[in-house]
Amino acid sequence: MPWSKVLAFDDPLHYQAAIRGADWEVYPTKKGQFRAELTQINLNQLWMQSFHCELLIQTGAVTPNRKVIGFLTEARQPAIHYRGEELSPHDIVVNTDAMHIRWEGDCRSGGMSLPRMILMLLARP
């Protein structure tokens, strides 16, 4: 059954547990109050998420048998680095294994996740 929800967090452990598509660990990079927002849309096998957070490092492994596709949702924002490379607003990241992301300020990004089998079927001519 499709569903959606918007969540706000003041605890990085609750935030990392709520993110779908990967087993995440979240590390704030500044002292003070942690804040993050997560919007989720579940269309059965397609999982979509929107992230709004600041100054943190997120590392993890993609859920087995899924692919994660990530992208920025705003053009003008502080840097976001994926595996050490700065992302531009035009980049799309496709991942099936380990992920490492660093937000250097108040940033927004999005992601979606599909089972690998569905992506293989869609890629066929």
Picking from 125, 1, 32, 62, the residue whose alpha carbon sits closest to that of residue 70 is 62
Asked if residue 73 has pLDDT above 90, the reply is: yes
How high does pLDDT run on average in the chain? 89
Most confident of 5-19, 62-76, 100-114: 5-19
Q: What is the DSSP letter of 87?
A: P
- Return the CATH class of domain 3-123: mainly beta
The residues spanned by each domain of the chain are: 3-123
Report pLDDT digits (tens) over 47-59. 999 999 988 899 9
CA distance 115 to 118: 6
Contact 12, 54 (CB under 8 A): no
State pTM to two decimals: 0.84
**What pLDDT shows up at residue 97?**
85
